[in-house]
């Protein structure tokens, strides 16, 4: 593993007001390191999605601190937060979020467009990212011409094409069958081998455990325990353990 790429310190989040007010997070601390795949596991309503949104700089904590590559996000305006997201964070969503009128390569290139990176270099980088996830022959296909597993691979390629420090994946296998889910987690585990990149996967699926270096359990807005799995992940995930 490498250094810390993202951390949350004593993060609290209050949602709603008055009688409907809910403390979604109650002093959560979490550190993500390069070269590590972390699973954030918990039941529905445990605070997983709220924490992911805060780590992704899409939601501000009520209390506490979030740092991305050592830079605190407190007090940052919308444009500054958008810049941090563009330069440091890649997202993988359960529902893919692909544009149906764009090819696979063009969907990936969107992540570079928002960074003002265009031209032939951007096209080459998009093709390279698709090749990395096994879609070298699908660059000109539209989402409707791709299977669910292939669409999720495009989403992963889009998330990594800008070389972000952190990949945040929200239930990335929930809409997939077991075989495709295994393939997607294999890709994310491979990405997590990069010592400069940390991967956080939010899930409630115990079948993803073999792919993790570390498992963080959250319940009722609290981190209740962590498990570090050391060097067992790659052997178990490949069926060698």
DSSP track, 91-118: EEETT----TTS-HHHHHHHHHHTTT--
Asked whether 61 and 11 are in contact (CB, 8 A), the reply is: yes
CATH of the domain at 210: 3.40.50.300
Instruction: Classify residue 149: in a domain, yes or no.
Output: yes
What residue numbers bound the domain in which 93 lies? 36-53+78-237
Supply the mean pLDDT for the chain: 90
Residue 28 lies in a domain: no
pLDDT score for 241: 35
In a domain? residue 24: no
Higher pLDDT, 93 or 224: 224
Is 12 within a domain? no
Q: Is residue 94 in a domain? A: yes
CA dist., res. 28 & res. 202, Å (int): 15
Q: Look up the pTM and report it.
A: 0.90
Is pLDDT above 80 for 75? yes
Whether 26 is in a domain gets the answer: no
Q: What digits encode the pLDDT tens for the residues 24-67?
A: 999 999 999 999 999 999 998 899 999 999 999 989 999 999 99
Residue 112 phi, psi (nearest 5): -90, -30
Q: And the tokens for 93?
A: 């969503």
What is the total count of domains within the chain? Answer: 1
What are the pLDDT digits (tens) for 85-144?
Answer: 989 999 998 889 999 999 999 999 999 988 888 788 999 999 999 999 999 999 999 999
Percentage of the chain beyond pLDDT 90 is 75
In a domain, 64, yes or no: no
Instruction: Please tell me the distance from the alpha carbon of residue 63 to that of residue 74, in angstroms, as a whole number.
Output: 10
Asked if residue 95 belongs to a domain, the reply is yes
């Amino acid at each position: 593993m490498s250094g810390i790429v993202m951390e949350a310190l004593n993060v609290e989040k209050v949602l709603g007001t008055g009688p409907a007010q809910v403390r979604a997070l109650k002093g959560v601390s979490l550190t993500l390191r390069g070269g590590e795949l972390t699973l954030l596991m918990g039941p529905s309503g445990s605070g997983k999605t709220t924490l992911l949104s805060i780590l992704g700089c899409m939601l501000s904590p009520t209390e506490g601190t979030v740092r991305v590559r050592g830079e605190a996000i407190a007090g940052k305006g919308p444009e500054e937060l958008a810049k941090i997201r563009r330069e440091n964070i890649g997202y993988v969503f359960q529902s893919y979020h692909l544009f149906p009128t764009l090819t696979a390569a063009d969907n990936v290139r969107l992540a570079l467009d928002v960074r003002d990176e265009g031209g032939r270099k951007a096209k080459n980088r998009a093709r390279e990212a698709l090749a990395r996830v096994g879609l070298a022959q699908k660059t000109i296909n539209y989402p409707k011409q791709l299977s669910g597993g292939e669409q999720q691979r495009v989403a992963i390629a889009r998330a990594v094409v800008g070389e972000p420090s952190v990949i945040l994946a929200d239930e990335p296998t929930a809409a997939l069958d077991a075989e495709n889910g295994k393939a997607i987690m294999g890709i994310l585990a491979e990405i997590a081998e990069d010592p400069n990149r940390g991967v956080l996967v939010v899930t409630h699926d115990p079948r993803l455990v073999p792919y993790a270096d570390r498992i963080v359990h959250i319940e009722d807005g609290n981190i209740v325990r962590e498990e570090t799995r050391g060097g067992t992940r790659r052997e178990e995930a490949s069926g060698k353990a």
